[in-house]
Amino acid sequence: MKYRDFIDILVKNGFVLDRTRGSHHQYKGTIGGLIRLVTVGGHGNEDIRPHNLASMIRQSGLPKNLFR
């Protein structure tokens, strides 16, 4: 999965860009009554490494099947 595709899924599920520091962007959203922050590397069209993808999915609180 590309970083750009991951961000599109976050935005479609109510996340908004909260802040940027260098090439990292933090998206903020409310899932299940909890405020979630997801840090996404700003690498656009690059593939996300599997361990980074798993971490970002955990941070989001969204179901894994959305990211297939």
- Check: CB of residue 29 under 8 Å from CB of residue 18: no
Predicted pLDDT at 68: 85
All domains in the chain, ordered by first residue: 3-61 (3.30.920.30)
pLDDT digits (tens, 9 = 90+) for 52-62: 999 999 999 99
Question: Using CA atoms, how far apart are residues 68 and 58, in angstroms rounded to an integer?
Answer: 15
DSSP H or E segment with residue 52: helix 50-60
DSSP H or E segment with residue 10: helix 3-12
Question: Using CA atoms, how far apart are residues 47 and 26, in angstroms rounded to an integer?
Answer: 18
Question: Using CA atoms, how far apart are residues 5 and 23, in angstroms rounded to an integer?
Answer: 16
pTM (2 d.p.): 0.90
pLDDT digits (tens, 9 = 90+) for 15-49: 999 999 988 999 999 999 999 999 998 777 889 99
